[in-house]
Structure 1
Amino acid sequence: MSNVQQNDPLLPDYSFNVHLVSGLTPIEKSGKFDFFIDRPKGLNGYIINLTYAGQGTIYRNNDSFNCHPGDFVLFPPKEPHLYGRKEDESNWFHFWIYFKPRSTWKYLLSWENRIENTGFYRPNIKVKKELEQLFIKIVEIGQSTSIYSENLAMSMLEQFLIRRAQETSNKSSKDIDIRVLQVCNYLIDTLDENELMLDNVAQKVCLSASRISHIFKDQIGMSIGQWRQEQRISRAKILLQTTNLSIANIGRSIGFEDQLYFSRIFKKRIGLSPQKYRNSSQEQHERKIKDINSLDLYGKITK
């Protein structure tokens, strides 16, 4: 059996070892993609599917539901995937976005309607077209060959999740505390500082260090220090992808004076050294251009 990794995300065994990837799966009866996706252990990130035409069936143990045009389905990490074209339908075309979320998206990904942990959302007629168009635009940008496409697609995906949350919000929804958002903004503005002074953070929101730490972890799901580290690494990834700055300068721009320490922290979090990550990103970008130019069924959107 071959050990070569599958490079077409529409076919089985694709690893989805990326931050964001998107496409259109054009399933037609007896066609190339007319099979059921079966991933018993799910994936490491999230997938949102939008049914565009036809119908699909999602199975969860002894339960199942059908997806109609305009329906969104959210599969969280490790959630089993078992879905395909509805038996009596001639086709099922669905757009999809696979992503690893930003840490502030915790509540945006807690969808109200679920079968086990699989989320389901059918927008009302007022916002259906708006959300469909936004989602398809994200897919399109996610497939762009621009070096900034992933960052732009992630920002637009956040917009989509916020709009969906606005439409489904109710009095029982838990909003993020304004003081937590203030802390997040302060941390982003001071990423280049070498040390995090928790007392300074607490003073910004007029709370004790222990109190803001408790509120922050309760709402974001990680400590202030952990969240700051996530943002530092995220900024480093963007700089490695989009600039020719040296590894040392990138480290200093996010508060690491010691290049070796920065490289060690980065590798522990990402699994690659900064230089190998930069090389890998360039190779992925080149492969993406080739794939989009050569594979129409990869999901490239044509008008």
Structure 2
Amino acid sequence: MTDRGFRDPNKSPIPVDKSPFPARRPALDSTAYVNGSFVPLSDAKISVLDRGFLFADGIYEVSAVLDGKLVDNASHLARLERSVGEISLRLPETVERITEIQKELIARNKVVSGLVYLQVTRGADKGRDFAFPKGDVKPSLVMFTSEKDIINAVSAKTGINVITVPDIRWERRDIKSVALLAQVLAKQAAAEAGAGEAWMLQDGYVTEGGSSSAFILTKDDVIVTRKNSNAILPGCTRKAVVALAEERQLRVEERSFTVEEALAAKEAFATSASLFVQPVVAIDGKKVGDGKPGPLAARLREIYVEFAKATAV
């Protein structure tokens, strides 16, 4: 385990982002949704007293868009409902209405391939108090879109390097909280190292990536990924990939694995809504397999893309 992710206070920050992934910043003239209104993104604002801003008291989700349609969105919204339930936060709109808003944003912004981000927070109270608001404070709901060519990403063909960092997050990682500082530090460490992702380690075992689920393929052709628990986020893409693999009679084991096991594996890969299936070709500068994307990761990516296109709504 390295100590990356913890910055030396005497060291000057390195602002250069060396990540192989292209920027996905939404256009400032695009349309966002804020608490019942569609507004220009440049005018999208919430109160400084919003509890998401003050306490990270909120939940978020990201759904992929292909051919102007939402990919596996029901799974993402089911996870949203679970996450808000875990922190006693009510949704200000029904799931059906949230889906309508997502689709309206895709249409207004003419998104063919990209992402829809949504965030719900406990809203703005009259002041700053750690305890939940006692009055009738309506939760905030914000959404926006960004464009990304997920299918033709160069890194899907070349694979990515990952670095390892200590997992310094809280113990309820199954909740998709907007409190992402630990992941920010991990992803920044990866960017400074010229890597595409950071794999977080706890007690010598890989938990997950900064914004992805981690997989390996053993020498015995077993796909291994950590079992869902409070230690990791239950990835929607992870869930779909595991199901698609099992449908094809591929062996899958949900258990923890070490970096040493990953380096001894045939292949490694990561999954997420914004990556789909991404080959991992090196960990901390050491090759996985022959240091090139493996055939299983490539095939699982093809299978997932087929699934995404066939089921998108």
- Shorter-chain TM-score above 0.5: no
TM-score if structure 1 supplies the norm length? 0.30
Higher relative contact order (CA 8 A, sep 6+): 2
> Is the strand fraction higher in 1 or 2?
2
